[in-house]
Structure 1
Amino acid sequence: MGSQSAKGLSMNELAEQQQKRPEPKPSGWLWFAGITFTVIIAVFGYILSKVPGFDHVGPLACAIVIAVMYRQFFGYPEKLRTGIQFSSKRFLRFAIILYGLKLNIDIVLHQGLGLLARDVGVIVFAILFTVWLGKLLKAESSLVLLLGVGTGVCGAAAIAAVSPIVKAKDEDTAIGVGIIALVGTIFSITYTILRPFLPLSAIDYGIWSGISLHEIAHVALAGAPAGPDGLAIALLAKLGRVLLLVPLCFILMYWVKRKSSGSAGDTKIEFPWFLIGFILMSLFGSYVLGKSIPVSKAAMDVVANATTFILTTAMVGLGLNVSLRDLRTKAARPLIAMLITSVILSVISYFIA
């Protein structure tokens, strides 16, 4: 008995040691193969986004669709997991940093302060109303919060920036980005159809588009029929919302930390260092590029396209975590909450434009 007990104890100790032992790291080529895998699907996403019908949806949503379908038919490529996770996390943060170049802080602060006040109202309304509707509909709280942030701020980029702060699942992030891309595209096309029938000047229409639509690409699509002046004011209004992403992230950090400290398990919140990079790139793009360092529009377009591609590659990594079975049961109610919020936001924004 004593020897059996001792033997059992040693086996337990051995089991504990095996649990504590870190998993063996895959070889470098598997890590590289995982990254390459996400890049290839991102390329296919770009190709699909050129097909009529998908051209308004954009490469991010197209890449997510391909990744989700791959997961359903072939399963998750476990051997490539580390490379895929590198794309979904590291590339995501790097893309957010580069995204800062799209924000000209100088223009927003000097010409868009009035719009900025309306942008604050839009963000507060979108997040709080979406979360409230989500609770009313008993929807997935994490996904509802991401959709509220995406609706109020700047679509996929906002969801990507907020996800690590609120500790959202990769699946929720991918679903949120896909929903934002789809709904935002529908709304922006609807705006262009309604434009000739609305009693709004080009400037007022541009403001309406900029403070109510989801992504910069959606604002550009909807604002184009208003001419160069209308498009310019639309993008300015949208950039104000992008600027407000930074303080929103820090507010959410405080909220998550306070919420977790009140619970039984106090969770440590990782500081979003990529936001510092976002701010620095915004300052660099606003006060250095084009002034101290001359740069052509073609070069900026290359950087913008590279940023979108890196973000698309990250979305592939997130999309591979999505299960269609869960999507049917999980996404319907958050989608309804976001749609209702978007419609009401469009109506309110129309009257304050």
Structure 2
Amino acid sequence: MEQKALITPSPNKQKKAAKKLNVSLIYGIGFTLIIAVLGFILAALPGLNHIGPLACAILLAVVYRQVFGYPKKLRTGIQFSSKKLLRFAIILYGLKLNMIVIFHQGFPLLLRGTITIIFSIVVLMIIAKWLKADFNLSLLLSVGTGICGAAAIAAVSPIIKAKDEDTAMGVGIIALVGTVFSIIYTLIYPFLSIGPMNYGNWVGISLHEIGHVALAAAPAGQDALAHALLAKLTRVFLLIPVCFILMLWMKKKGKIEGEARFEFPWFLIGFIVMSFVGSYIIGNKVLVSQKVMSDIADFTSLMLTMSMTGLGLNISLKELRTKAIRPLIAIIITSFLLSSLTYFSL
């Protein structure tokens, strides 16, 4: 009876493989950092400052992929940025959520936020089904529209097991649409027959991202901006129950499809913990200065931009043209309906 010998790599080969892996990891992370920094520089230019560093970095990554191809030698580091850094950034994003203010404002704000989220998801998914748009990309856009744009898409993406290119496309689309709508808001504000506070509430309950809300509300003054951000943070708070609902849905779907294992998104627990830390420990006792909190926010944005760079490198322009147009139409229609209905409900 012949015995098969187990061939193990020599120590030298193991060291070389480990070294190659480390080089790929470090250089890949550095590569996403360079593009992320370039994204921030681009976002500071006139015109591009409205769409933000996330979208600019994704645009640079997409262009690089089409011109030079995917940098396979840096794959390990790029995947680290697109997956590990993404989850860590979402955890730190929880510091932006002030639960004390939200709880003090009570039920009405939460109710309005809930209605916005349900409306966005249901309407966009109905339109997407009618247009025969890609399901996962449409679902990401519906959650991003209802809650908080790119951050919501990044949080939900691992839960629904979306492809990296879908996540990147979703972030790019929602940045574009949200920017266009926020600019339209600022242009029409002088002609609206509502006061600054009502305008702020409308902005906060209907626009996509916190940056879009700040951009649209600022021209109406500090009171409008404060009301807008409060309404927006209420929707950010609702990201927590929405994620858990999607987890249950995916778990049920997994059982139907015969999946043996469901991966719990532990980063969501980190998001909740950091929300409580920021609200009840740091916020109450002023243990951390505003400058440190600002630095943490900048660091979070940098990590999120690096992760989006990694995702953007997976996008093929051919697939983008064929896959994104119908979800884009769906989000435009949904955003218009959401803006109109929330305005007339003030």
Q: Please state which band the TM-score falls in when normalised by the shorter chain.
A: over 0.9
**1:298 shift after superposition:** 2.3
Structure 1 runs not aligned, ≥5 long? 1-9, 15-23
- Specify the alignment match of 2:12 in structure 1: none
**1:112 shift after superposition:** 4.8
- Specify the alignment match of 1:311 in structure 2: 304
TM-score by length of 1: 0.92
Structure 2 runs not aligned, ≥5 long? 8-16
- Hey, what's the Cα distance between the residues in 2 that align with 1:102 and 1:220? 14
Letter in 2 for 1:220: A
Letter in 1 for 2:80: F
- Hey, what's the Cα distance between the residues in 2 that align with 1:268 and 1:64? 32
8 Å CA contact 1:257, 1:267 repeated in 2: no
CA distances 1:89-117 after superposition (whole Å, capped 9, x unpaired) = 01000110110011000001102531110
- Hey, what's the Cα distance between the residues in 1 that align with 2:344 and 2:226? 20
Question: Does structure 1 residue 343 correspond to structure 2 residue 336?
Answer: yes
Give SS of 1:210's match.
helix
TM-score by length of 2: 0.93
8 Å CA contact 2:42, 2:53 repeated in 1: yes
- Specify the alignment match of 1:233 in structure 2: 227
Letter in 1 for 2:235: R
- Specify the alignment match of 1:149 in structure 2: 143
CA RMSD of aligned residues (A): 1.6
CA distances 1:113-133 after superposition (whole Å, capped 9, x unpaired) = 311100000000101111111
2:194 aligned to 187, 192, 200, which one?
Answer: 200
Give SS of 2:50's match.
coil
- Specify the alignment match of 1:248 in structure 2: 242
- Specify the alignment match of 1:121 in structure 2: 115
- Specify the alignment match of 2:11 in structure 1: none
Matches within 5 A, 1:282-321: 282-321=275-314
**1:296 shift after superposition:** 2.8
8 Å CA contact 2:254, 2:262 repeated in 1: no
- Hey, what's the Cα distance between the residues in 1 that align with 2:214 and 2:291? 18
Letter in 1 for 2:222: P
- Specify the alignment match of 2:80 in structure 1: 86
Give SS of 1:165's match.
coil
2:256 aligned to 252, 262, 268, which one?
Answer: 262
Percent sequence identity is 61
CA distances 1:145-186 after superposition (whole Å, capped 9, x unpaired) = 000000000000000000000000000000000001010011
CA distances 1:55-80 after superposition (whole Å, capped 9, x unpaired) = 11100000000000000000001111
- Specify the alignment match of 1:278 in structure 2: 271
Letter in 2 for 1:277: G
2:62 aligned to 68, 81, 100, which one?
Answer: 68
8 Å CA contact 1:42, 1:309 repeated in 2: yes
Letter in 1 for 2:196: A
8 Å CA contact 1:61, 1:181 repeated in 2: yes
Give SS of 2:159's match.
helix
- Specify the alignment match of 1:134 in structure 2: 128
- Hey, what's the Cα distance between the residues in 1 that align with 2:142 and 2:28? 32
**1:352 shift after superposition:** 2.0
- Specify the alignment match of 2:214 in structure 1: 220
8 Å CA contact 2:21, 2:76 repeated in 1: no
Letter in 2 for 1:132: I
